[in-house]
Amino acid sequence: MLYHLVNWLDLDFPGSGVFDYISFRAGMALIISLVISLWFGKGIVRLLHRMQVGESVRDLGLEGQAEKQGTPTMGGLIIIAATIIPTLLFARLDNIYILLMLVATVWLGTIGFVDDYIKVFKKDKRGLAGTFKVVGQVGIGLVIGLTVYFHPSIRTKVEVPQVIADQFDASEVTTFTEENGNVRYLLDRRQPNTTIPFVKGNELNYSSVMGVFGREARKYTWVLYVLVVVFIITAVSNGANITDGIDGLAAGTSAIIVLALGVLTYIGGNIVFAQYLDVMYIPGVGELVVFVGALLGACIGFLWYNAYPAQVFMGDTGSLMLGGVIAALAILVRKELLIPVLCGVFVVENLSVVLQVGWFKYTRKRHGEGRRIFKMAPLHHHYQKLGYHESKIVTRFLIVGVMLAVFTLVTLKLR
């Protein structure tokens, strides 16, 4: 909004040009986000206390669990407000990537809010029916998948040899001459493709996958792409929701993932860095760095109140939104295949539940008695049962998250 206002007023004063720089606007979004989450977050926590929006904590037989009874939930409202407001202030609102992320944030935040509302005010511990949650997650997956595939302004530029570049119209090819005289050709692609980690020349076009089923099958590439997007958003959103089980774990893990995605976004949206690191250049996606700055500040600011002992829980209002938005970010910057590494904590937490439930049902059917792999699922509760303090569990999970984030960034050159 401020970017558009400064350009509309055509102001010419010392420093007015800084609004043209994504790095400046991202930094300001981060600062304002921290101010909102730290300063106004305190008021939101007090309001939730007064409204008696307390968490009804299930007795899991874990040390310190009883003390959490009554801690306010719906703290995800702090994250949502601290993300949306700075983005509206500093991002270009005519950018399709920014619009998609704002829609995803509000959409998934609303689903989580309804779930928390039913639990708290309707006194129904089951919350929103799982079917409605999935329908909501599938819905935003459809919106993002179809928009990315069919919107004319969403495209990527991939380096190709001159032989291939000559086969296309000049308007579809960008030519660059390096200092040593080498000429490089970037082909403008409108069909979505993605990055394959650990492989040189690592772009994969989804249409080539459909080509396995014959030439005619390529026209249905959009179906494959949308299904992939829906699956990723649903899986990561649920993974973040499951991870939100002890103080500071989901918010801290999300902050690390968002920071790594911010680096990947900035590189992918900057033609100089993209060329230097030989990665896919995505015109316009650099604007998402402003959104990433706001989201990062929101996660860090929320940790101020959510770190052990938590003064507020994010609830599904925050966890469903964080997971879905992280997945959407990875999809928009064409790094969705890196999610199993970057979001490894979410994946393992999710997998621990699937394995626990699956093994219990299998052994009960086969032996007449259900057996468990872990003392309790998800995985963080397993370590609590082993006697680890939750602060130690969170710290070690965050260390693993940092290692995974660093390894994800190393894949830029590890091919």
Where along the chain do its domains lie?
A: 2-10+25-155+190-410
Q: Which residues contact 321 (CB under 8 A, 6 or more apart)?
A: 76, 79, 80, 105, 108, 109, 112
Residue 144 or residue 183, greater confidence: 144
Q: Percent of the chain at pLDDT above 70? A: 87
Averaged pLDDT for residues 309-321: 92
Q: What is the mean pLDDT of the chain?
A: 87
Residue 274 or residue 265, greater confidence: 265
Whole-number pLDDT of residue 59: 47
User: Phi first, then psi: what are they for 160, rounded to 5°?
Assistant: -135, 160
Whole-number pLDDT of residue 164: 64
| Distance separating alpha carbons of residues 106 and 80, to the nearest angstrom | 8
Q: Which residues contact 127 (CB under 8 A, 6 or more apart)?
A: 115, 116, 118, 119, 316
Q: Say which DSSP state 19 is in.
A: G
Q: Which residues contact 248 (CB under 8 A, 6 or more apart)?
A: 303, 306, 307, 308, 310, 394
157 - beta bridge partners?
A: 188, 281
Residue 300 has pLDDT above 80, yes or no: yes
The answer to whether 290 and 29 have CB atoms below 8 angstroms apart is yes
Burial environment of residue 407 by CB neighbours within 10 A (0 to 12, 13 to 18, 19 or more): middle
Whole-number pLDDT of residue 153: 83
Which two structure tokens, joined as six digits, stand for 286? Answer: 């650099």
pLDDT tens digits, one per residue of 186-213:
767 666 788 888 776 667 778 777 777 7
Averaged pLDDT for residues 336-346: 94
Residue 348 has pLDDT above 70, yes or no: yes
Give the least confident one: 81-85, 129-133, 338-342: 129-133
Residue 97 has pLDDT above 80, yes or no: yes
Give, to the nearest 10 degrees, the angle between helix 288-306 and helix 315-332.
Answer: 150
- Listed in order, strand segments (DSSP E) in 79-131 are none
Residue 57 Rama label (left phi>0; alpha psi -120 to 50; beta): beta
Q: How far is CA 192 from CA 112, 182, 195, 204, in A?
A: 29, 28, 10, 9
Whole-number pLDDT of residue 67: 65
3-state SS class at 185:
strand
Other beta carbons less than 10 A from residue 358's beta carbon: 11
Residue 168 or residue 45, greater confidence: 45
